[in-house]
Amino acid sequence: MTSNAISRRIEELENLLPPLTARPDLDDYWDLTLEQFADKPLYAKRTLTETPYAYMKACKVEYQGYDATPIHGWYLLPKFRQEEKLPCVVLYHGYTGSKGYPEEYAAYLLMGIAVFAIDVRGQSGETGNLMPQDYGMTKGWITQGILDKDSFYYKAITIDALKALDWASEQPEVDAERICASGASQGGGLAMIAAALSDKAAIAVAHIPNMCQMDFGILNSSSSLSEAAAFIERNPEQLDTVLETLSYFDNMNLAHRIRIPLFVTVGLKDPVTMPETIYAAFNRVDCEKTIVPYPFSGHVVTGDQQRLAVDFISAHFLNR
């Protein structure tokens, strides 16, 4: 291969291996947390909803994840698929977004795949946030409870994401052995952490994922971590505490727990989920994995990225 600036940049990223920021009790912490939440009831309900789409069965779903907050989602099925048990993609949206409209997921239904798309609590969807708050925040959601890993917003949305996989695995139309955790940006970070912590996901797709090498991100990126940076600017004495809290939710530190096939995309011009952060986490994963760099893309998921992800899902769920 001819050497050029682009190939050298990719090679540099492929060899990137910054030191972990994990505390010694990271695995014990998550093992205990997963055990604590394993038997928490979902209190779920699904309600059939009319849409203009003749070949789509759409249900509104509510379930409980981290606490008593009702998490809202769309559960979608293709009416034309006769297979008794379908693969399912569980989808997490990007920061400030929502589950959107059912038709946004039509491509998966055309593949004969079920979809469960959820709101992330407190953001722009129908889902509120009942978490208590005992310290001030900077604007946005990221700094809620950031001084303690057990009160931190990321813990709540992580458990919500894991419980979404639990709910999907219990649906009568879903093949519990063929569930994909997927998302972009914030959603990509949640898909990766779900791959590390859930026993329900069989594969994961993480487009331009956040929640990777967050000590680097808080210093350099324009992502939601800039809210944490603003918090520290106002409370400089809390720097070490904030970095410690973030370390428990950093996909770089949790990468060793990923044991399922993983597909990742990255934009080399992305100032939000910077390539240095994504490769720092991806390079630590020790199982079947693929990363596709886009040298001229920023913080975006292109049609090509979507198509390659669909090919990845199809190869694992449909072509076997």
The verdict on residue 23 lying in a domain is no
Sign of CA dihedral 169, 248, 65, 314: negative
The verdict on residue 191 lying in a domain is yes
State the residue range of the domain holding 296.
5-13+29-317
Domain count, the chain: 1
Looking at residues 80-104, what average pLDDT do you find? 93
The verdict on residue 24 lying in a domain is no
Task: Indicate if the pLDDT at residue 1 is higher than 70.
Answer: no
pLDDT for the residue 194? 98
Share of the chain above pLDDT 90, in %: 97
DSSP string, 263-290: EEEEETT-SSS-HHHHHHHHTT--SSEE
Indicate which CATH number applies to the domain containing 143. 3.40.50.1820
The answer to whether 70 and 63 have CB atoms below 8 angstroms apart is yes
Task: Give the catalytic positions in this structure.
Answer: 185, 270, 299
The verdict on residue 20 lying in a domain is no
**145 falls in which pLDDT band (50, 70, 90)?**
very high
The verdict on residue 21 lying in a domain is no
For 163-175, the pLDDT digits (tens) are 999 999 999 999 9
The verdict on residue 75 lying in a domain is yes
The verdict on residue 220 lying in a domain is yes
For 169-224, the pLDDT digits (tens) are 999 999 999 999 999 999 999 999 999 999 999 999 999 999 999 999 999 999 99
The verdict on residue 233 lying in a domain is yes
Question: What's this model's pTM, rounded to 2 decimal places?
Answer: 0.97
pLDDT for the residue 84? 81
